[in-house]
Amino acid sequence: MRWALVKVSLAVTAMVVVAFAVPLGLVIKEMARDRAFSNAERWAATIGPTLSITTDRDSLDRAVQTTEVGIEGRMAVHVPASGERGSLPLEIGRRRAAQQDLETTRRIGRASISEVTGGFALLQPTAVASGKIAVVEVFVPEGDVSNGVATAWLVLAGVGIALIVGSVAVADRLGVRMVQPAQRLAGAAHDLGEGRLGVRVPEEGPTELRSAAVAFNSMADQVVQLLANERELAADLSHRLRTPLTVLRLNAASLGEGPAAEQTRAAVEQLEREVDTIIRTARDQRSQTQGAVGPGPGAGCDVSEVVRERMDFWSALAEDEGRKVRLAGVERPVRIPVARPELAAALDALLGNVFRHTPVGTAFSVDVHNGDDAVIVLVSDAGPGISDPQAALVRGNSGGRDGSTGLGLDIVRRVAESTGGDVRIGHSVLGGTEVRIWIGLGLDGRRAAGDRGGHRLGRRKRGTGAGKRAADVKL
């Protein structure tokens, strides 16, 4: 496209230059010719008064020598014989025109131009006292006829070339302005097709290409979001398999000794390794297309009901392992803007970690606290605790350690942040780890919770409102 614009501009500008320069050059040439012969006519007219008075050679010779062209030897006067006895034709100066041209000029009675060696001769007829017609000849050299024509043509040629070069340069810049955004768009589409999902196109150039860039960037964002959601779903679904796997592992541990028991335990361990591999793979892919996955419009559930349901499930396993369980704050319904499966997955992730990373017989508790603008879920245990709580929170992004995929706490964090809340890890009153989930209620949550609401929750302010009340909770 760029070279096509340059060629079109070159052709159009060249045609315009030729259409104007050639006629203008011919006009200049004609003007130079007319100027030269007009000057010659003016010099020839200066001899007319003298010829009308006398035909004396000396007088005419003096009149010729008083002119510039006479001094240069470019003027001649041809006076015919008067017709009297003994009269002869009179010629002053050098004659260049043919005798036939002189006779023709006398006959027609008007000025004429004849071509001679080295230029042209202007023949100007003039009546003399005898009634005859004298002819004044003025020689016009070829250089005077074309004086300034070559310079004018060179100037026209220079102007024409400058116009052509300028138009080509402008067309090239316009072509670059149009072609570069198109090339960037094509390159970005190629990169996106090869899997480089972070590529975007600058929104610049002509209006049409800017619209195309906006559409491409929007499409790329949608692709990234869809892939992130898909991989997130795959990771979450795979992580939810760990809950029944934990049950299988605990049941397999109680099978005792024997080949069947060993094979069952080995199969459970292998299945758990495969699930961990799926989770890590999905996590690594998700880190390339990180996207926020929040609750959809109208999503929500009763946190008390979900907590009671999941505690019923895990209490059976706790009884088998001799763990003491305490549940509090679930006596009345509390609506939160979190989908039921998401909250259930978050609770299973935390309780599964308790069973997986604490010794058998370790006690744990779940407490739900309902505030004006937030709901706080506390999961506490009496285990050895977490040595680096901050690293545990970012483990979902850095990969698993110590047999953990790191996805469980990340699932909990995303559930909390989707409502404007957050997750904190600290030391519980039981002596182990306490995971605090801050879930923002928003307008819908406050209305479902009995219109207790004050201001709308954005990001939590430490030490004020519900945050202070949560900090004051003692288990």
Amino acid 381: pLDDT: 93
C-alpha to C-alpha distance for 123 and 192, rounded to whole angstroms: 86
| Domains defined along the chain, listed by start | 2-150 (3.30.450.20), 198-293 (1.10.287.130), 295-471 (3.30.565.10)
Tens digits of residue pLDDT in 310-335: 898 888 888 888 999 999 999 999 89
Rg (CA), the chain: 54
Find, among 308, 311, 273, the residue nearest to 400 by Cα: 273
Give the chain's residues under pLDDT 70.
1-2, 83-87, 231-243, 270, 273-299, 394-407, 442-475
C-alpha to C-alpha distance for 283 and 125, rounded to whole angstroms: 111
Amino acid 291: pLDDT: 41
C-alpha to C-alpha distance for 73 and 139, rounded to whole angstroms: 9
Find, among 409, 160, 192, the residue nearest to 283 by Cα: 409
Amino acid 282: pLDDT: 58
- Tokens linked to 376: 């706080």
Amino acid 81: pLDDT: 79
